[in-house]
């Protein structure tokens, strides 16, 4: 049994992940900003932890992360202003990585997106630019850290039931069910062979455990 904390615990991927981890016997804490979301988290079997990551300092976040075996970042500003996108998807994410180090939590799984990276290619006048730029910076900070990191790069997210299969060989982004993204996150948490790897994937036919192996 592992003790895992999910940042952004009310997101659709996170709620799937909480159920999967609880079902396999892990103890799961889910960090949420809005206390009204606690019942949805509790329904998965996870514990709800109320914390505003955007406005919390590194020490406060470290206190929450302490005594966990792994951190999963599944939070995001969800669009809106560029300033808030940078504040959450870049700055708060980086603070959480530094906080994990302070708290002594080595394992860190980042839920990013397929095209993330310094060469994301999104023009500055595109509304998606702030998100692409923020995620690139956060992912690079994690890769440069001494964490036992894994970066997940799912393609366009869909709300299907999941197939249990993915394609990690795709060169272009397609789509993938959020349920399968959660299943990939659960699988990498149980597989130390994924440490230090960036795993980009679409929906596919290769069973997840085999695909990430």
Per-position pLDDT tens, the chain of length 213 = 999 999 999 999 999 999 999 999 999 999 999 999 999 999 999 999 999 999 999 999 999 999 999 999 999 998 779 999 999 999 999 999 999 999 999 999 999 999 999 899 899 999 899 999 999 999 999 999 999 999 999 999 999 999 999 999 999 999 999 999 999 999 999 999 999 999 999 999 999 999 999
Give one DSSP letter per residue of 132-156, joined into a string.
HHHHHHHHHHHHTSSSEEEEEEE-E
Q: What is the CATH number of the domain that holds 35?
A: 3.40.50.720
Which parts of the chain fold into alpha helices (H)?
A: 12-23, 38-44, 58-65, 82-85, 93-103, 129-143, 178-189, 208-212
Give the residue numbers spanning the domain of 146.
Answer: 3-212
Which pLDDT score, from 0 to 100, does residue 109 have?
A: 99
Please tell me the total count of domains within the chain. Answer: 1
Helix (H, G, I), strand (E, B) or coil at 35: helix
CA 76 to chain centroid:
9
């Amino acid at each position: 049994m592992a003790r895992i904390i999910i940042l952004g615990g009310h997101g659709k991927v996170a709620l799937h992940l909480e159920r999967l981890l609880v079902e396999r016997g892990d103890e799961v804490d889910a960090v949420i900003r809005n206390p009204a979301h606690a019942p949805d988290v509790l329904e998965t079997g996870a514990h709800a932890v109320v914390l505003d990551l955007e406005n919390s300092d590194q020490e406060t976040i470290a206190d929450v992360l302490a005594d966990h075996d792994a951190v999963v970042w599944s939070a995001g500003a969800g669009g809106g202003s560029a300033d808030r996108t940078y504040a959450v998807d870049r700055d708060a994410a980086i603070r959480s990585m530094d906080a994990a180090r302070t708290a002594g939590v080595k394992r860190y799984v980042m839920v990013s997106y397929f095209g993330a990276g310094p060469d994301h290619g999104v023009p500055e006048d595109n509304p998606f630019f702030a998100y692409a730029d923020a995620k690139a910076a956060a992912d690079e900070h994690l890769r440069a850290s001494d964490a036992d990191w894994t970066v997940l790069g799912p393609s366009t997210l869909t709300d299907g039931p999941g197939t249990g299969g993915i394609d990690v060989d795709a060169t272009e982004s397609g789509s993938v069910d959020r349920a399968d993204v959660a299943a990939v996150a659960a699988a990498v948490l149980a597989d130390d062979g994924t440490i230090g790897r960036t795993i980009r994937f679409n929906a596919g036919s290769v069973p997840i455990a085999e695909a990430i192996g």
